[in-house]
Amino acid sequence: MMSPKQQFSPQDYPTRPGVYLMKGADGVVLYVGKARNLRARLRSYLRPEQDSRPQIRFLMERTKSIETIVTDTEKEALILENTLIKAHRPRYNIDLRDDKTYVSLRIDLREPYPGLRVVRQVTADGALYFGPFSSSTAVKETLKQLYRIFPLRRLSADYCARRQRPCLYFQIGQCSAPCHGKISPEDYAELVRGAIALLSGREDDVLKLLQGQMQTAAKEMRFEEAALLRDRIEAIKATVERQKVVAHGGGDCDVFGLWGDGRESAIVVLLIRRGRLIDRRSYRLHSAMEEPELLGLALQQFYDHGNTPPPRILLPVPCASSEVLSEWLGERSGVRVRLIVPQRGDKHDLLELARQNAREHFGEKGPEEIAGAILQEIATRLGLHKLPARMECFDISNMQGGNIVGSMVVFIDGLPAKEAYRRYELKTLAGHADDYAALNEVLGRRLDRAQQEGVFPDLILVDGGRGQLGILSELIARKGLMPPIEIASIAKARREKVAGKATLRSQERFFRPGSPAPILFPPGSAALRMLQRLRDEAHRFAITYHRQKRKARLLGSQLEQIAGIGPKTRLELLRYFGSLRQLRAATIEELAAAPGIGSKTAQRIYEGLRQPGCNDLGDTNP
């Protein structure tokens, strides 16, 4: 049941559990909350004289309507609140995100030969997940050690099935090659069990198992196998010793530390597994909520983002709706989850450690502050009228005068916004190379689209010198954009000879309309690196697109010359093999196994792809 309210009065709202949505004049959801009693909760908002929190008055000044959704229980309200926050991303709800990307390891025991795979999303698909790890570097190091101890299948089963012999990982002892019968199913299953136990933190169990196997092998005079098991045991011991041990007993728990000044807050979560501190998560929140409400929302978001709740969660203060949260967390983990507020002892010491970490994180400059300072330096040195929050850079790729393409990359608040990147296939150039004409077309199409959609950049940067800047200036003048868009060009560093001997690089130069001399940034400055990164990203994006088109054209022309291979068959071949390199490297038997390809056609394709002109194809996916 949903009901919008334009005139705010506490008596208009039900006394049942549910969710409320506060909306602005434009209908955009500003805040989503839950309550055991909607009328009692909304009374605190609708009578601001009874609530001294500044954010409440600030929010209510912008709220023009309140909608309520009634639920049967408070737990249903909690789940619905999570769903609505994800759907609407309200401005005044907390957003528990940091600047790291977390990855996990996935293994599906239903596969014939289960292997580990790095994933970024944890889903309820019946597979086992381990992690999350704080970075791809951390997970790569974990896998590097793991494969030396338990050489599981490294590559995909489909890829291994197409190979006639084991891969290189088998040759260096980091894969047991189960797809080629180099290990029995029983022995491989033993490796899988050991890897799972090690990833689960049961190192003692794994060591005991391997030591027993080593002793058995030695007694039976299988010395080579015993030596291999000995090496695995030593590798596990070395890995375990590098981990930081927490001297506060064993067990699994997460510890939440909180620090704030009434306007902003910092939350740090210490992840402890089997008595070891394995990771730390840090978050900065622009929120003036009271601590119980803030912690309740933080718990919801943290464990709704792929983190598995442990049996114990240590908190500095009791959180709002703790009983409902505990029940919800238990359903997600499959075990009872206790929310504990320790007052003394080892658990309180862990809580103090988390609080100190939160205090340190609160004092650090956040990514937004750092990016803001860099953008301010860019604006000052280039003489811009405002901060370049949205920067766009354009580049043209032209090799041997063919397949001329353009690229646009976008940085928002100093970070790449890859969803806004665009590639341009030139339409007005009839195959002849003219970088100036190509740039004019690409920029013109971008500005036309900006006028249609109303999304304008704060700064356009083009790769080149005064010539490219002149094209952009004339184009903006013809479009009659008011106010004019800020523009600049970046010229690559030049090589200069000194005394006819040494060769040095000059600084990269920036040009602005009306500025007679180039603008130079201090070498190595953060502002210069950001602009260089923007330029390099545009160049990379254009080059990648150009190579994709060139390789596809080369392969397409090669396949066109083979009898019986039409456009549909070419597309199916690329989809089946996954890349141009794998298609060209396929054997006759592998080609014949592709859908719709017989042995005779496979022979023609195999011979045709080895004609001159098809040997420089790369591994770019179509």
In CATH, what number is assigned to the domain containing residue 267?
A: 3.30.420
Q: Same domain, yes or no, for 178 and 33?
A: no
Three-class secondary structure of residue 215 per DSSP? helix
Instruction: State the Cα torsion 423-429-431-432 to the nearest 10°.
Output: -110
Q: Is residue 497 part of a domain?
A: yes
Per-residue model confidence (pLDDT) at position 377? 92
Which H, E and C letters describe 151-196, residue by residue? Answer: CCCCCCHHHHHHCCCCCHHHHCCCCCCHHHCCCCHHHHHHHHHHHH
pLDDT for the residue numbered 90 = 84
Q: How far is 183 from 214, CA to CA, in rounded Å?
A: 18
Closest listed residue to residue 286, CA positions, set 211, 378, 368:
368
- Decide which of 533, 564, 593 is a domain's last residue: 533
* Residue 595 and residue 570 in contact, taking contact as beta carbons nearer than 8 Å: no
* Residues 9, 112 within the same domain: no
In a domain, 242, yes or no: no
Spatial distance between the Cα atoms of 192 and 173, rounded to a whole number of angstroms: 16
Closest by CA to 195, choosing from 129, 150, 135, 236, is 150
What pLDDT is recorded for position 162?
76
Of the three residues 343, 363, 383, the one that is the final residue of a domain is 363
Q: Is residue 621 in some structural domain?
A: no
Residue 249 Ramachandran class (φ > 0 left, ψ -120 to 50 alpha, else beta): left
Please tell me the predicted confidence (pLDDT) of residue 1: 45
Supply the pLDDT for residue 597.
Answer: 81
- H helix or E strand, kind and range, residue 233: helix 223-241
Statement to judge: residues 509 and 418 lie in one domain: yes
Domain-embedded: residue 197: yes
- The residues of the chain scoring below 50 in pLDDT are 1-6, 99, 241-245, 247-248, 613-622
Residue 35 counted as domain residue: yes
Residue 162 shares a structural domain with residue 286: no
pLDDT in the model for residue 429: 61
434 and 414 inside one domain: yes
Examine residue 616 and state whether it is found in any structural domain, yes or no: no
- Identify the pLDDT of residue 213: 80
* 244 found inside a domain: no
Residue 423: strand, helix, or coil = strand
pLDDT recorded at residue 432: 55
CATH of the domain at 37: 3.40.1440.10
What is the full DSSP assignment across 235-272? HHHHHHHTSPBPSS-SS-EEEEEEEE-SS-EEEEEEEE
Q: Is 193 found in the same domain as 114? A: yes
- Both 412 and 510 in one domain: the answer is yes
Print the domain residue range for 578: 544-608
Same domain? For 518 and 431 the reply is yes
The pLDDT score that the predictor gives to residue 235 is 67
Whether residue 265 contacts residue 287, with contact meaning beta carbons closer than 8 Å, is answered with yes
- Same domain for 529 and 380: yes
Last residue of one domain, picked from the residues 88, 113, 143: 88
Q: 115-143 pLDDT, tens per residue?
A: 888 887 777 677 888 766 666 666 776 77
Q: Is residue 261 part of a domain?
A: yes
Contact assessment for residue 194 and residue 206, using Cβ atoms and an 8 Å cutoff: yes
pLDDT of 178 reads 86
Task: Please give the tally of structural domains in the chain.
Answer: 5
User: Which residue in 611, 618, 614 sits closest to 547, CA to CA?
Assistant: 618
Return d(Cα 141, Cα 139) in angstroms, integer.
Answer: 5
Same domain, 131 and 52: no
453 and 384 in a single domain? The answer is yes
Task: Give the pLDDT confidence of 33-71 residue by residue, as tens digits.
Answer: 888 888 888 887 776 555 555 566 677 778 888 888 999
Judgement on whether residues 128 and 53 belong to the same structural domain of the protein? no
Indicate which CATH number applies to the domain containing 597.
Answer: 1.10.150.20
State how beta strands 128-133 and 117-119 pair: unpaired
